[in-house]
């Protein structure tokens, strides 16, 4: 919602202080990460100021570290599986919320969104109890189930938002021309949801790669990357961790910028904020009410 406020400024001292505050907060948000990155090249290790003796040793150590790469592999597998599950069920859930009426819809809507706002420990523990009672051994599979469950809400909100923008008339036209519901679904609905789905996939993948709170409780023998790092942290800090953190940061950065560009192409600025609001309000913030 832009106004032509371009030439018009009462650029008072008030606005200048706001800018100072803004820059300060950005500094607060980014400096720790910057420090982390800088010290990943620091020969003397993790602490001490100023950094000197720049070296790539830690990165070399990192690349030789088999356990880390194994956990990366595990994480990727888990993340891909989580994307598949979250999308499959999330798209359906979004459609159900958008189009169908059924008993318990309100409860369903809140349940789906709950994992977004609940502390991960609750989601993780409740699933742990389920697996215990069902006698399921903890493994990468249980982690996949955990991530999938937690992240369905992300897929649902993104796709639901995308659905609002789909022209209903297109689907009606398709049916009118003789296609079945199933055909219409694949030929018209899904293609229209392409961008939200891709965006959601990217987001879910990234979140799954970083996920630790739920995974903490559902881990079996095999570690995911965050858990591997966590294990090492318990034993002591090494700058190797700085190195892997730097790499994680770079990947996240790239993933998010791509996601953002994708979203901007569809509909102006992406409404991640609505995702959060939706979760907190326990509802989806568009007009469709059950």
Partner 1 sequence: MFSRAYRAAVTVPPLLWVTVLLLIPYLLMFCYSFWSVSMAQTVVHSWTLDNYRELLRVNVYWQTLFRSMWIAARVMLFSLLLGYPLAYYLSFHAGKRKDLFYQLVIIPLWVSYLVRAYAWKTILGSDGVLNTLLQYVHVTTHPLGFLLYSPFAVVLTLTHIYTPFTILPIYASLEHIPRALVEASHDLGGSPSQTFWRVIFPLSIPGVLAGATFAFVLSLGDFLAPLLLGGPSGIMISNIVVSLFGAAYNWPLGAAISLCMLVLVVGLLFISERLEKKWSFT
Partner 2 sequence: MASTTSESTVVTGLTKLATEPLLSIRNIAKHFGKNIVLRDISLDIAEGEFLTILGESGSGKTTLLRIIAGFETANSGQLRMSGERLDRLPPYRRRVNTVFQHYALFPHLTVEQNVAYGLRVAKLSDAEIVSRVEQALSMVKMKEYARSKPAKISGGQQQRVALARALINRPRLLLLDEPLSALDANLRRQMQVELKSLQREVGIAFLFVTHDQEEAMVMSDRIALLRSGELEQVATPREIYRRPATAYTAQFIGHTNLLPADIKDGVARYKSLSWPVQLPDGPALFSLRPENIRLAGISNDPIGDAVRFRGKLRHHAFHGASELLQIEHADGLVLWVRIRSSGGGWHGDLEFEFSPNDAAPVRESQTRD
Rounded to a whole number of angstroms, the CA Rg of the chain reads 23
Using CB under 8 A, pick the residue from 141, 166, 230, 266 that binds partner 1.
230
Using CB under 8 A, pick the residue from 1, 2, 10, 137 that binds partner 2.
10
Q: Does 157 bind partner 1 (CB under 8 A)?
A: no
* 67 φ/ψ angles, rounded to the nearest 5 degrees: -60, -40
Name the residue among 64, 62, 69, 72 with its Cα closest to residue 40: 62
Using CB under 8 A, pick the residue from 71, 72, 82, 90 that binds partner 1.
90
∠ CA 247-221-153, nearest 5°, is 65
Using CB under 8 A, pick the residue from 72, 82, 242, 243 that binds partner 1.
242
Select the binding partner of residue 8 from partner 2, partner 1, none (C-beta < 5 to 8 A, by kind): partner 2
DSSP bridge pairs for 54: 42
Using CB under 8 A, pick the residue from 99, 165, 265, 288 that binds partner 1.
99
20: which DSSP letter?
A: H
How is the chain split among helix, strand and coil, in percent rounded to 5? 75, 0, 25
Using CB under 8 A, pick the residue from 80, 179, 271, 286 that binds partner 1.
271
Stretch that binds partner 2, among 2-10, 34-42, 159-167, 200-208 (CB under 8 A): 2-10
User: Taking CB under 8 A as the criterion, which residues in 167-196 touch partner 1?
Assistant: 172, 175, 181, 185
Select the binding partner of residue 47 from partner 2, partner 1, none (C-beta < 5 to 8 A, by kind): partner 1
**36 with 246: CB under 8 angstroms?**
yes
Select the binding partner of residue 230 from partner 2, partner 1, none (C-beta < 5 to 8 A, by kind): partner 1
> What per-residue string of b and e applies to 227-239 under the rule 16 or more CB within 10 Å gives b?
bbbeebeeeeeeb
Between CA 208 and CA 78 the distance in angstroms is 8
**174 with 183: CB under 8 angstroms?**
yes
Alpha carbon 140 to its chain's center: 19
Name the residue among 155, 173, 148, 172 with its Cα closest to residue 278: 155
Select the binding partner of residue 212 from partner 2, partner 1, none (C-beta < 5 to 8 A, by kind): partner 1
Q: 45 vs 9, 237, 248, CA distance in Å? A: 49, 9, 19
Closest approach of partner 2 to the CB of residue 5, in Å: 8
Per-residue contact string for residues 41-70; x = within reach of partner 1 by CB under 8 A: -----xxxxx--------------------
Q: If binding means CB under 8 A, how many residues of this protein chain bind partner 1? A: 103
Q: Does 13 bind partner 2 (CB under 8 A)?
A: no
Using CB under 8 A, pick the residue from 1, 2, 6, 50 that binds partner 2.
6
Closest approach of partner 2 to the CB of residue 165, in Å: 23
Alpha carbon 178 to its chain's center: 39
User: Taking CB under 8 A as the criterion, which residues in 7-26 touch partner 1?
Assistant: 10, 12, 14-15, 18-19, 21-22, 25-26
DSSP bridge pairs for 83: none
Q: Does 120 bind partner 1 (CB under 8 A)?
A: yes
* Interface residue list for partner 2 (CB under 8 A): 3-4, 6-8, 10
């Amino acid at each position: 919602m832009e106004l032509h406020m371009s030439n018009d400024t009462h650029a008072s001292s008030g606005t200048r202080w706001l800018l100072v505050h803004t820059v300060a907060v950005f500094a607060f948000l980014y400096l720790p990460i910057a420090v982390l990155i800088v010290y990943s090249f620091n020969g003397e290790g993790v602490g001490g100021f100023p950094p000197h003796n720049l070296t790539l040793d830690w990165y070399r150590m990192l690349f030789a570290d088999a356990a880390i790469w194994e956990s990366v592999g595990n994480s990727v597998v888990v993340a891909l599986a989580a994307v598949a599950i979250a999308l499959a069920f999330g798209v359906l859930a979004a459609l159900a919320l958008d189009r169908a009426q059924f008993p318990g819809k309100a409860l369903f809507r809140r349940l789906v969104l709950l994992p977004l706002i609940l502390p991960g420990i609750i989601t993780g523990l409740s699933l742990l109890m389920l697996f215990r009672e069902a006698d399921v051994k903890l493994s990468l599979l249980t982690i996949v189930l955990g991530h999938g469950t937690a992240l369905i809400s992300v897929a649902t909100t993104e796709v639901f938002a995308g659905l609002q923008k789909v022209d209903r008339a297109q689907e009606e036209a398709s049916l009118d021309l003789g296609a079945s519901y199933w055909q219409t679904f694949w030929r018209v609905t899904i293609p229209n949801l392409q961008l939200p789905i891709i965006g959601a996939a990217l987001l879910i993948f990234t979140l799954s790669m970083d996920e630790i709170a739920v995974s903490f409780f559902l881990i079996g023998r095999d570690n995911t990357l965050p858990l591997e790092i966590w294990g090492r942290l318990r034993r002591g800090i090494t700058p190797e961790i700085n190195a892997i953190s730097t790499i994680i940061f770079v990947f996240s950065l790239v993933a998010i910028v791509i996601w953002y560009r994708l979203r901007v192409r569809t509909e102006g600025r992406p409404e991640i904020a609505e995702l959060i609001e939706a979760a907190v309000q326990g509802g989806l913030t568009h007009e469709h009410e059950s």
